[in-house]
């Protein structure tokens, strides 16, 4: 069972390697890695990426590496905690997918099943962030979402739908050029 909590995602210190950026990358979104996406994201002004706590990092990695078929389809995984005014609001996991079909389902369906079944939730609804469409679900007091963004899949957990929307709109804008 997953015990990831949006309020427990952030680590206690800020890593100097994670720096919000306003740089625009010339990397084509169709070949963008998860690491490149994270490094070149333009973060909303009130949000800051921070290292994940060890517990949250282990739980997020479990989504990917506990299922051998999902793990085999992945080439790059990065994750950060997200804070607003030094308060933890959630986490963002970015996964570069090499094989979009796993067994008899898509990678997105497999990840959605792995993530949301662990949370004992069956009610997901479609959601739009910019030009991209994903799915969102309320799990207890948190909001969870999955957004396919070209070769990268974004998974976010946050304390509110507004926080999810702000996080995933930033991902969508980076991938689609803000259209």
Q: What is the mean pLDDT of residues 156-168?
A: 94
Which pLDDT value is given to residue 79?
Answer: 87
Find, among 157, 123, 125, the residue nearest to 9 by Cα: 157
Domain assignments of the chain as residue spans, ordered by start: 6-10+29-151+159-176
Which tokens sit at 43?
A: 């973060």
Compute the radius of gyration of the chain from its Cα atoms. Answer: 15
In this prediction, residue 34 carries a pLDDT of: 86
Does residue 28 carry a pLDDT above 60? no
d(CA 145, CA 17): 26
What pLDDT score was predicted for residue 95?
84
Q: Of 151, 30, 17, 171, nearest to 91 (Cα)?
A: 171
Model confidence band, residue 116 (pLDDT cutoffs 50, 70, 90): low
pTM for this entry: 0.73
pLDDT in tens, 3-26: 344 444 445 444 444 444 444 444
Q: Rounded to a whole number, what is the largest CA-CA distance in the chain?
A: 44
Instruction: For the chain, give the percent of residues with pLDDT over 70.
Output: 60
Q: What pLDDT score does 169 carry?
A: 95
CA distances (Å), origin 113, targets 1, 46, 122, 161? 13, 32, 9, 20
pLDDT recorded at residue 8: 45
- Mind listing the pLDDT tens digit for each residue in 117-128? 555 445 778 899
- Cα 14 to Cα 143: distance, rounded to the nearest angstrom: 24
pLDDT in tens, 37-66: 889 889 999 999 999 888 877 777 676 666
Taking the alpha carbons of 12, 81, 57, 113 in that order, is the dihedral positive or negative? Answer: positive
């Amino acid at each position: 069972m997953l015990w990831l909590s949006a309020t427990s995602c952030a680590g206690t210190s800020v890593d100097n390697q994670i720096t919000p950026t306003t740089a625009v990358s010339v990397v084509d979104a169709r070949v963008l890695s998860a690491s490149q996406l994270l490094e070149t994201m333009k973060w909303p002004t009130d949000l800051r990426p921070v290292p994940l706590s060890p517990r949250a990092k282990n739980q997020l990695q479990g989504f990917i590496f506990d299922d051998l078929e999902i793990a085999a389809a992945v080439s790059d995984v990065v994750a950060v905690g997200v804070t607003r005014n030094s308060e933890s609001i959630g986490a963002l996991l970015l996964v570069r997918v090499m094989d979009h079909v796993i067994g008899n389902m898509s990678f997105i369906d497999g990840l959605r099943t792995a993530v949301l079944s662990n949370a004992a939730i069956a009610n997901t609804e479609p959601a739009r962030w910019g030009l991209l469409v994903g799915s969102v679900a309320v799990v207890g007091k948190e909001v969870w979402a999955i957004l396919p963004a070209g070769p990268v899949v974004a998974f976010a957990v946050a304390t509110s739908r507004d926080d999810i929307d702000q996080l995933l709109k930033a991902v969508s804008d980076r991938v689609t050029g803000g259209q």
